[in-house]
Amino acid sequence: MTVPNSCTSIGSSAFSGCTGITSAILGDGVRTIGGSAFSGCSRLTSVQFGESLEEIGSSAFRECGIIGHVYFPQSVISMGERAFYQCYGITEITCLGRVAPLISNDGSYSTFYGVDTNIIVNIPCDSYNLYSGRWSYFHNFSESAFLFNVVSENLSKGTVTVVSAPTCSNPVATVLATPRSGYRFDHWSDGSTENPYYYTVTGSMTLTAYFASAGGTEGIEDITADQIKIYSRGSEIVIEGAENSDVLVYDVMGRIVHKGRIESPIHVSNMGIYMVKIDDQPARKVVVR
């Protein structure tokens, strides 16, 4: 499931017990996650938090099936009691805030109760003293020179792994994109097609991996049954054969790029995948690189 940027909060128990949810991408507009919002979502194995998240409520992800590396943006202020209670699958944490978020370290009420206390917790340089105090539940802190995050543009197409994170003494990160069945790795958000990618981190950033269909062309579904052609050219989306039609263009986070009569070409600001919907026809996907 993907929560769009227009959503600012997720209410208490909003998705509690929804065992059909396997991954969640929360848009950059989400500032708060209510208590027990995803509690009991046992098949929820992957969560991506938006850049504006401030508060995670008590038991928000209690007994979820989260696996692997969890990233918290620098905006996070607090995480409630038992927020990640018995999330045994968490193997590494990166918290990007230079000020350690407030959490509970109180026995069975601890925010991360059940998570291995010896996992690596990646934190910004010169923040060890504050984290070791506020996050006394954990024991293994690793300081990193910059706030570095790596995400997949669509978890249903592929996942990403930080093989080696940048450190205060070595700013080179190694990242790996792994496509799912039916897809292939296409490119990183900076345009590179290397995989694994040895990236020198020179500032705080998020690196995104993009995937494409393993059997299709770059302009996925670019020709419709009505012979309407949709393709990318540089930083533009070109539509041919649909004059005098209405078009809606939006990105993978649901943000509208263009709405109204077709203008050809349509300029977009960023590389990535866009959805193009002409009149009442099904939306079609185009890759801009």
* 251-255 own/partner pairs: CB under 8 Å, 24+ apart: 251/275, 252/2, 252/153, 252/154, 253/2, 253/4, 253/5, 253/27, 253/28, 254/2, 254/4, 254/5, 254/6, 254/27, 255/4, 255/5
Top pLDDT among 168 and 54 is at: 54
Q: Please say if the pLDDT value at position 228 is more than 60.
A: yes
pLDDT of 224: 47
Q: Assign 220 a pLDDT band (cuts: 50, 70, 90).
A: very low
Residues 6+ apart with CB under 8 A from 257: 249, 250, 251, 266, 268, 274
Q: Are 250 and 193 in contact (CB under 8 A)?
A: no
Q: Please say if the pLDDT value at position 271 is more than 80.
A: no
Fold for 1-144, please state it.
3.80.10
Distances (CA, A) of 83 to 11, 36, 56, 96, 207: 14, 8, 7, 18, 27
Top pLDDT among 231 and 39 is at: 39
Q: Please say if the pLDDT value at position 106 is more than 90.
A: yes
pLDDT of 222: 45
Top pLDDT among 66 and 248 is at: 66
**Averaged confidence pLDDT in the chain:** 87
- pTM of the entire predicted model: 0.56
Q: For 134-154, what is the mean pLDDT? A: 87
Top pLDDT among 124 and 134 is at: 134
Q: Percent of the chain at pLDDT above 70? A: 92
Q: Please say if the pLDDT value at position 223 is more than 90.
A: no
| H-helix or E-strand spanning residue 132 | helix 128-134
Top pLDDT among 285 and 219 is at: 285
Q: Assign 138 a pLDDT band (cuts: 50, 70, 90).
A: very high
Q: Which two tokens stand for residue 190?
A: 């900076």
Q: Rounded distance, CA 62 to CA 40, Å?
A: 6
Report the candidate in 158, 151, 143 with the shortest Cα–Cα distance to residue 49: 151
Q: Assign 267 a pLDDT band (cuts: 50, 70, 90).
A: confident
Q: Assign 145 a pLDDT band (cuts: 50, 70, 90).
A: low
- Spans of all domains in the chain: 1-144, 147-216, 229-288
Q: Are 94 and 165 in contact (CB under 8 A)?
A: yes
Q: Are 274 and 249 in contact (CB under 8 A)?
A: yes
pLDDT tens digits along 95-104: 988 899 999 9
Q: For 109-138, what is the mean pLDDT? A: 94
Top pLDDT among 147 and 59 is at: 59
